[in-house]
Amino acid sequence: MLKIAIQKSGRLNEDSIKLLKECGIELNNGNKQLKAVAYNFPVEVYFFRDDDIPQYVYDGVADIGIVGENVLLETGKDIELAYRLGFGKCRLSIAVPKAMEYNSIKDLNGLKIATTYSNLLKQYLTANKVKADIHEISGSVEIAPGIGLADAICDLVSSGSTLFTNGLKEVEVILKSEAVITANKNLSEEKKAILKKLLMRMNAVKTAKNNKYILLNAPNYQLENIFSLLPGMKSPTVVPLVEEGWSSVQSVVNENDFWEVIEKLKQYEAEGIIVMPIEKMIIG
């Protein structure tokens, strides 16, 4: 049995539960209680505050956890970063009042900076030889400059709209973060085997999201060009069409270069292009 800690409520809760579900793990109740048991996979899910997860994984209360990399690094616990999940993306940044003139990091010297991430901020300032006063507070960091509690802040940012509404501008990015799987370093062989299976499933879900299935028709003399654009998982599938000199091609295309590939396919005379989402994708 592998014990998984996830956030009880907050930004990572829903995506964490969704991910487990996409991995085929059915839980016996919602997140109303402390613990849920999966009836079709040897895992138990515990619901905690995100800040407590690294400690619990370190202590072995949980074997693995789903937590923001920002929280993992801030606590500095000696636990493993086992897998990057690709959701919960944000950055830990320093922001100053919009009106403040800011040219370089040296301008932070002598300022009072409010944050809940004092360890990461301290490391960053030290590495950049800045001497500032770190003021640790427990929440609502973004209002600190407005109420005269600090000159600047160091906080999580995603769209930047919270900074904007509080009259702040982002001036330094300390860390780019996403949700990760963190694991205790001393798992038993049995737990390691379950984790390996789980990570294989998570990878299939993540890879599928990054790829699309593509079907198209093309004249045979363009096939080599088209194969160079669509290498596929091993190689593309080609089926001859009834119409002489034409083939149907099936392959996968990566989400990142999707539109570029489509435009080039058109240049290579591809027709009837159909693109479909992939539910799971297992490579190798």
**CB 143, min distance to ligand ATP, A:** 15
In the list Zn ion, ligand ATP, none, the entry touching 156 (Cβ below 5 to 8 angstroms by class) is: ligand ATP
Q: Which residues contact 89 (CB under 8 A, 6 or more apart)?
A: 158, 176, 177, 178
Selected binder of ligand ATP within 5, 6, 12, 261 (CB under 6 A): 12
Output 66 or 204, the one with its CB closest to ligand ATP: 66
**CB 174, min distance to ligand ATP, A:** 13
Q: Which two tokens stand for residue 212?
A: 């699309």
Output 174 or 229, the one with its CB closest to ligand ATP: 174
**CB 32, min distance to Zn ion, A:** 20
Among the listed residues 170, 174, 92, 176, the one whose alpha carbon sits nearest the alpha carbon of residue 125: 174
In the list ligand ATP, Zn ion, none, the entry touching 68 (Cβ below 5 to 8 angstroms by class) is: ligand ATP
Instruction: Please give the angle made by the CA atoms of 158, 164 and 170, to the nearest 5 degrees.
Output: 60
Selected binder of ligand ATP within 50, 63, 142, 172 (CB under 6 A): 50
Output 65 or 236, the one with its CB closest to Zn ion: 65
Output 175 or 216, the one with its CB closest to ligand ATP: 175
CB atoms within 10 A of CB 244: 7
Output 151 or 155, the one with its CB closest to ligand ATP: 155
In the list Zn ion, ligand ATP, none, the entry touching 237 (Cβ below 5 to 8 angstroms by class) is: none
CA distance 139 to 106: 26
> Which alpha helices (DSSP H) does the chain contain, by range?
13-22, 53-59, 69-75, 118-127, 161-165, 189-209, 223-229, 258-267
Is 145 one of the binding residues for ligand ATP (CB under 6 A)?
no
Among the listed residues 269, 242, 223, 266, the one whose alpha carbon sits nearest the alpha carbon of residue 251: 223
**How does DSSP assign 58-85, residue by residue?**
HHTSSSEEEEEHHHHHHHT-S-EEEEE-
CA distances from 178 to 82, 102, 211, 236 (A): 13, 28, 20, 33
Convert residues 62-91 into a mask of x (bound to ligand ATP by CB under 6 A) and - (unbound). Answer: ------x-xx----------------x-x-
Q: Which residues within the stretch 147-206 sit at the binding site for ligand ATP (CB under 6 A)? A: 156, 158, 177
Selected binder of ligand ATP within 35, 49, 98, 176 (CB under 6 A): 49
**CB 83, min distance to ligand ATP, A:** 15
CA distances from 121 to 77, 115, 137, 192, 209 (A): 17, 8, 13, 34, 34
In the list ligand ATP, Zn ion, none, the entry touching 24 (Cβ below 5 to 8 angstroms by class) is: none
Among the listed residues 227, 230, 207, the one whose alpha carbon sits nearest the alpha carbon of residue 277: 207
Asked if residue 101 lies in contact with residue 148, where contact means CB atoms within 8 angstroms, the answer is no
Give the binding-site size for ligand ATP (rule: CB under 6 A): 15
In the list ligand ATP, Zn ion, none, the entry touching 70 (Cβ below 5 to 8 angstroms by class) is: ligand ATP
Chain residues binding ligand ATP by CB under 6 A are 7, 10-12, 49-51, 68, 70-71, 88, 90, 156, 158, 177
